[in-house]
Structure 1
């Protein structure tokens, strides 16, 4: 397992999601992310935001608490999306190993915020933002899939770009 701190690692940008100070990922996952980055045009960069977070750590406990609160709030705000809460707020493998990651996009030096309100961003807003940056989003997703990553099935979670590395 590799530990990456904020900054650039072999051309891959790293910005841990608060409150994390670093990101832990499998060495093979880093290699595949670098390959995915190499397939993208120079103005489009990957930004690694989340990797392995041990379940039995302070961060893991904090994430579990936030998830429980988030599920309650999400179900209150979006009762018609009740069935999505587990997919959006689940650990999604981040607590298992370093093969489950979240990435963001950086276009021409500016981070694309596809979910400005996080997972509480209304689907209508999500659709508009994706439409505005459709080509960049499609290129990143294709690049990741080509390099062995499987994108999350939930549309909101897929915009965080949560993906799992599945070796071939």
Structure 2
């Protein structure tokens, strides 16, 4: 099973830190998000510089995404406990999925071999996916560079609304 542009994304369900910043857990399924556009952003690790900046950028633009009927969900392989701390520390108003079994990472093909301090390691390639209100994949960004990325995603959401 894999994803393709302009195709429906297969149904999934995952455990996430709640969007309410109360330290709770919630189950997120693709079907529960129907009727809203969805931004899924995969990032390597909580509390690292690039991931923190990217998450803060999504946080800072969150109201604009909500106005455009779009939900944001962050995904990494970190634990729910790690996500809850990261979320609280940076006041993130959206859910973070813990994908420790790499089910979503595999579905979206974001696990890549990376070079870290001279060693090859498996890790998440920073990637973002935009799904429309029917769950169809409309845009993919891979190998994301953080500066300006959230603005680019917001522009794509606005373009989707005009389509």
Identify whether the pair has TM-score above 0.5, normalized to the shorter chain: no
The structure that has the greater radius of gyration is: 1
* TM-score after normalising by structure 2: 0.29
* TM-score after normalising by structure 1: 0.28
Between structures 1 and 2, the one with greater strand share: 2
